[in-house]
């Protein structure tokens, strides 16, 4: 009987770990500490982007940063529920664009794919990632070339297997959507191309934690409550609502929840980080420029509470480092993270709805 109880307990812990953001009575993250070690003594490899226990240690492997179209005609995106971290930042026309970070893309479809911008490239460099995009601004292409960015381009890509990693979704074309909202990437083809063209392991000595740390008690850092808040980028905004049942946040735009159109599932975020980073229009198309190095302020949300934070990044090769206002390193809750890059000082900013 004792052996049976032990096996049942182990099974329950594994199910909890792989749920990402499960409910528990204390409103905390799953029962795993910051090193991915279950408090009952079961250890295993950890996804350094989420703090979740995984079946195989892939911490030495470079992730993929994929540009995701967030135009109304391109929603819902496909593949977002498989991402570990999702960034959202302002693009031209007041719209936002997303960049999703995946530890592995081999068995998923992702899209629709959009074009590169310099500040997204800078963010991808923080993870030493393979950058996946479809076209880009001329400055973005200049940065890709001069900075030696390992990338997979769905528009100008001319290397064997590069452009063929992408396809047009016929269903969306038949629905009358503009062609720029119909380009998707086959994850298996992206992985194959990357393997044939790039070194997929981080260099020796690289910080494979990406500057992130995780805790089951990250909510204890937060001193104020907010279960419903809005981030304004320009005329567009994203709402976040906390679900106590799942102990996670869900994101909404134009009143509709962000879902993964591939499986119609909600995208549950254990953490939301809002970084106050100014943007500047640099051309007649409305393209933006943002300084992604240096330091600044922001907010961290988890478990229905929040705290003001600071961020630092020494240069483009450095990770983002988050601290509390007193300089204490910030711990994230275990699970997925949504990061909003918003010029809070020049918009309505961050509004707490409840």
Whether the CB-CB separation of 236 and 347 falls below 8 Å is answered with no
pLDDT in tens, 16-46: 444 446 443 333 333 333 332 333 323 689 9
Q: What is the pLDDT of residue 43?
A: 62
Whether the CB-CB separation of 45 and 54 falls below 8 Å is answered with yes
Q: Which of 39-53, 102-116, 158-172, 278-292 has the lowest mean pLDDT?
A: 39-53
* pTM, to two decimals: 0.88
Residues of the chain above pLDDT 90, percent: 79
pLDDT in tens, 238-295: 999 999 999 999 999 988 999 999 999 999 999 999 999 988 888 888 888 899 999 9
CATH of domain 64-197: 3.50.90.10
Q: Check whether 151 has a pLDDT greater than 70.
A: yes
Instruction: Give yes or no on whether 64-197 and 218-352 have one common fold.
Output: yes
pLDDT in tens, 33-91: 333 233 332 368 999 999 999 999 999 999 999 999 999 999 999 999 999 999 999 99
Q: How far is Cα 96 from Cα 341, in angstroms, rounded to an integer?
A: 10
Q: What is the pLDDT of residue 34?
A: 34
Q: What is the pLDDT of residue 234?
A: 84
Average per-residue pLDDT for the chain: 88
- Average pLDDT (130-146) is 97
Radius of gyration of the chain (CA): 20
- Average pLDDT (179-187) is 96
Domain ranges of the chain: 64-197, 218-352
* DSSP code string of 233-273: SSS-EEEEEEETTTTEEEEEETTEE-EETTTTEE--BSEEE
CATH of domain 218-352: 3.50.90.10
* DSSP code string of 114-149: --B-HHHHHHHHTTTPEEEES-B-HHHHHHHHHTT-
Whether the CB-CB separation of 276 and 311 falls below 8 Å is answered with no
Measured CA to CA in angstroms, residue 148 lies from 64, 145, 192, 200 at distances of 16, 5, 20, 15
């Amino acid at each position: 009987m004792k052996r049976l109880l032990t096996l049942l307990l182990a099974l329950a812990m594994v199910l909890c770990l792989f749920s990402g953001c499960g409910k528990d009575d204390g409103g905390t993250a799953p029962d795993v500490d910051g090193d991915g070690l279950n408090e009952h003594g079961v250890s295993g490899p950890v996804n350094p982007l989420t703090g979740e226990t995984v079946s195989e240690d892939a911490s030495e492997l470079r992730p993929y940063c994929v540009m995701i179209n967030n135009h109304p005609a391109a929603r819902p995106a496909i593949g977002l529920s498989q991402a570990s971290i999702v960034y959202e930042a302002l693009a031209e026309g007041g719209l936002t664009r997303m960049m999703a970070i995946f530890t592995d893309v081999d068995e998923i479809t992702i899209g629709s794919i959009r074009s590169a911008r310099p500040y997204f490239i800078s963010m991808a460099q923080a993870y030493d990632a393979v950058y996946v995009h479809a076209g880009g601004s001329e400055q973005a292409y200049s940065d890709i070339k001069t900075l030696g960015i390992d990338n997979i381009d769905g528009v100008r890509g001319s290397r064997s297997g590069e452009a063929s990693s992408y396809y047009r979704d016929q269903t969306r074309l038949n629905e009358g959507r503009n062609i720029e909202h119909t380009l998707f990437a086959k994850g298996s083809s992206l992985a194959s191309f990357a393997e044939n063209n790039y070194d997929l392991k981080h260099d020796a000595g690289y910080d494979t934690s990406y500057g992130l740390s995780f805790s089951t008690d990250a909510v204890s850092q937060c001193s104020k409550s907010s279960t419903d808040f809005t981030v304004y980028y320009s005329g567009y905004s994203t709402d976040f609502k906390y679900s106590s049942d799942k102990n996670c946040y869900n994101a909404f735009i134009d009143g509709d929840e962000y879902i993964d159109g591939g499986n119609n599932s909600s995208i549950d975020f254990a953490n939301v980080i809002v970084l106050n980073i100014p943007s500047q229009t640099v051309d007649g198309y409305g393209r933006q420029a943002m300084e992604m190095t240096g330091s600044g302020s922001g907010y961290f949300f988890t478990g229905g509470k929040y705290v003001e934070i600071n961020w630092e990044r020494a240069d483009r090769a450095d990770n983002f480092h988050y601290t509390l206002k007193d300089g204490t390193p910030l711990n994230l809750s275990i699970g997925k993270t949504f990061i909003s890059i918003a010029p809070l000082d020049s918009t309505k900013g961050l509004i707490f709805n409840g």
